[in-house]
Amino acid sequence: MRRLLWLAATSAALVGRGSLKPRRSIQRRVFGRQGIDLRPLRPLVDVVEEEYITADSKLTKDRSVVIVTTASLPWMTGTAVNPALRAAYMVGGGYEDVTLLLPWLEDDNDQRTLFNGRVFANKSEQELFVRDWIKKNAPDADASTLKLGWYPSRYATGLGSILNLDDITSHIPSDKNDIVILEEPEHLNWYRNGPRWTSRFRHVCGIAHTNYEA
């Protein structure tokens, strides 16, 4: 029995380390009152079998990527922070064409509610804020070539969510039809019209941000 326990503990330790090579020490960087840890996580698997990868799902760095999300900085919520960092590190990691599509709050009161009283006069002003935030919080990712886009939206107080006011795909340039990453896809499709995502894009990836069973 002790022998089996020792083998189990040894195997778990090896799996946890993955490789016996010493890992580079990464300094912990945090922001906000909650101190979010920005250190990159180890992939769930080291190798994905080729049989599960198709020509459409192979995310090579020469492909065009559009990231659509349901919130924007300076609202410090997961669907604003995570997509901004994802886009920044994709560009910094060598992806040549990445667009981050954000909701533009048409109503000044919505902005005051979510942005701690701050109001942006126009999209360009908010874009400067987003880029500055990325530069400060992801300094090791050169995201200067990241493209930003906007779709009109309003804040629904009862739902605690931002909702689009028209067809989101109409705000994506027609030549951007390769890969789309939908951040919080269930919210993006609550009141959506227009073509199916799978009809407009070659490959669609959805990222859930909420554990509804918790």
Q: Could you tell me if 202 and 56 are in contact, meaning their C-beta atoms sit under 8 angstroms apart? A: yes
> Amino acid identity, residue 26?
I
Cα–Cα dist 83/99, whole Å: 11
**Average pLDDT by consecutive 10-residue portion of the chain (214 residues)?**
40 39 48 56 70 87 97 96 96 96 98 97 98 94 95 95 95 96 94 90 94 68
pTM tops 0.85, yes or no:
no
Q: What amino acid occupies position 15? A: V
- pLDDT score recorded for residue 14: 35
State both tokens at 72: 């924007």
Name the β-bridge partners of 67. Answer: 100, 181
